[in-house]
Amino acid sequence: MFIDQVEIHVKSGKGGDGVVHFRREKYVPRGGPDGGDGGKGGDVILEVQPTLNTLNFRHKERFVAEEGRPGAKQNMYGRSGEDLVIHVPPGTVIYEIIDDGRDGVTPSLLGDLTQPGQRLTVCKGGRGGRGNTHFKSSTNQVPRTAEKGEPAEEKRLRLELKLLADIGLVGVPNAGKSTLLSVLTNAKPKIAPYPFTTLEPNLGVANIDEDTTIVLADIPGLIEGAHEGAGLGHEFLRHIQRTRVLIHLLDGFSPDPVADYSQINSELALFDPNLSKKPQVVALNKIDQPEVQERLAGIKKEMKKRGVTLMTISALARTNVREVLLKAAGKLAEAPTLEEIEPPMPVYRPEEDPREFSISREDDAGWRVSGVSIERAAAMTYWEHSGAVRRFQKLMERLGVEEALRKAGIEEGDTVRIGEFELEWQE
């Protein structure tokens, strides 16, 4: 089953916790702290596997990387979690789905994977927390302070596949595109004498000579309004964007093949203006039929008025099919490369100061402190250790959170929420 658009949930691994521990050996007085660091959590990575041609995530939509292991005594590090590698086909575009807070979502481009082996880290694993060894000093020789592992990242992604093919076959339904693909390549698409036989794109590889092969894509038939979702075109028009040359196949039995030609080009241009600029080889199919032969002169004349040189073929009888392929291969040699057609999309990320925070009043006489650094620090604090709590209080003072809360009007006994944690304000 061909799947070219899917949403998945991914989550990296949480960092392992650092530990509070002290050496206790019979003949080693004042052994000191020896709590080890936690291991790093695993990343979530998307990697291109060239043998794939579909986003086959029907049976699994949630992916979670391994967490880092906690540290141990004698300054032993915890084991890092293994990275989770998710394989995707070439041509996969990755968006992060972000809730905009107004009952809607906004897609944010993360990357575009086109080359075999290309990788994109979509969620970074949390770093391991530091053990109490790191917090010893001349004035604090018995530190009861350590860090928990950094929290994991979690994202909702939308993956879109744009097939990578050299030549795309386009035309109205029942024009004979699937038959032509089966004749030119070893592909075996479904073929039947009724419209919309092809419900998903098909790929095939054609041999030009001993050293040259090209990839062809049969795109499901397009009808008027395809760019707005009519028929099947809206689902599959994106696959034409990365082809370099088009073979535009006209149905010889159509009431008006010339009108079909204009309609398809209009739909391509309305979906993406760059599609109308792609080199085309235009061929009239089914010329082995007497009815088509009778109309051929008139069709050629009308196409010539539009500046189009019309080729004639019979995909079923294999008449002139090789000539059409060679003509398209010639245009392919002169066509711009994929990078020139669709250069890699730049991904812009606004620079954010992790030290920034915001304070808001909540309805139940509570306060909410939001910010990257302060929320991460709260999640990495051992609240059961007094030393760790004092360290967090100093961080709030250093970031200016305490002063901002006082200016906002906080009072004794008010609740302060930071991430998942609730604190009681005391002067």
The pLDDT value recorded for residue 340 is: 63
Specify the pLDDT at position 13.
96
pLDDT beyond 90 at 151:
yes
In DSSP terms, 63 is beta-bridged to: 10
pLDDT band (50, 70, 90) for residue 52: confident
Distance CA 46, CA 87 (A): 6
Give the model's pLDDT for residue 223.
45
The pair of structure tokens assigned to 306 is 């539009």
Residue 366's nearest CA partner among 416, 412, 314 is 416
In the chain, the amino acid numbered 104 is G
Contacts of 407 (CB under 8 A, 6+ apart): none
Q: What pLDDT shows up at residue 28?
A: 74
Query: What does the pLDDT look like over 173-194, one tens digit per residue?
Result: 888 888 888 888 875 644 444 3
- 242: tokens are 């990365």
**Which residue ranges make up each domain of the chain?**
1-162, 167-337, 358-424
Per-residue pLDDT for 228 more than 80? no
Q: How much is the pLDDT for 173?
A: 81
Cα–Cα distances in Å, from 159 out to 88, 90, 110, 361, 425?
A: 9, 12, 10, 38, 45
pLDDT given at position 227: 41
pLDDT at 78: 93
How does residue 344 score in pLDDT terms, banded at 50, 70 and 90? low
Placement of tokens 């592909």 in the chain? 187
Predicted local confidence at residue 200, as pLDDT: 59
> Does the model's pTM come out above 0.75?
no
402 sits in which H/E element: helix 401-408
pLDDT (mean) for 217-228? 58
Query: With bands split at pLDDT 50, 70 and 90, how would you rate the model's confidence at 349?
Result: low
Beta carbons of 72 and 19 less than 8 angstroms apart: yes
Greater model confidence, 236 or 356: 356
Q: Is the pLDDT of residue 131 over 60?
A: yes
What lies within 8 Å, CB to CB, of 214 at 6+ separation is 166, 167, 205, 206, 208, 328, 329, 332
State phi, psi for 191 to the nearest 5 degrees. Answer: -125, 130
Cα gap 81→70, rounded to integer Å: 11
Question: Residues 6 or more apart from 362 whose CB is under 8 A from it?
Answer: 368, 417
Q: What is the pLDDT of residue 226?
A: 42
pLDDT for 44: 96
The answer to which of 127-136, 198-207, 364-373 has the lowest mean pLDDT is 198-207
State CA 78 to chain mean position distance.
32
Take residue 303 and report the two structure tokens written for it: 């196409």
pLDDT at residue 230 tops 60: no
Residue 215 clears pLDDT 90, i.e. is over it: no
Tokens describing residue 366: 């509570």
Q: Inform me whether the pLDDT recorded for 224 exceeds 60.
A: no
- pLDDT tens for 358-409 read 898 887 768 899 988 899 999 999 998 888 888 899 989 888 999 998 898 8
Lowest mean pLDDT among 138-142, 219-223, 241-245, 291-295: 219-223
Q: Is the pLDDT reported for residue 79 higher than 90? A: yes
Contact 218, 178 (CB under 8 A): yes
Summarize pLDDT for 265-282 with one digit per residue, the tens. 887 888 778 887 889 999
The whole-chain average pLDDT of the chain stands at: 83
1-162, what's its fold?
Spo0b-associated Gtp-binding Protein; Chain: A, (2.70.210)
What DSSP element (H or E) covers 387?
Answer: helix 386-399
For the cut 70, the answer to whether the pLDDT of residue 292 exceeds it is: yes
User: Using one digit for the tens of pLDDT, what is the confidence trace for 34-45?
Assistant: 999 999 999 999
Residue 134 has what DSSP assignment?
A: G
Q: What is the structure's pLDDT at 47?
A: 94
Pairing of strands 366-370, 415-418: parallel
In the DSSP assignment, the letter for residue 204 is E
Task: Supply the DSSP symbol for 33.
Answer: B
Task: Give the CATH architecture of domain 167-337.
Answer: 3-Layer(aba) Sandwich (3.40)
CATH 3.30.300.350 describes domain 358-424? yes
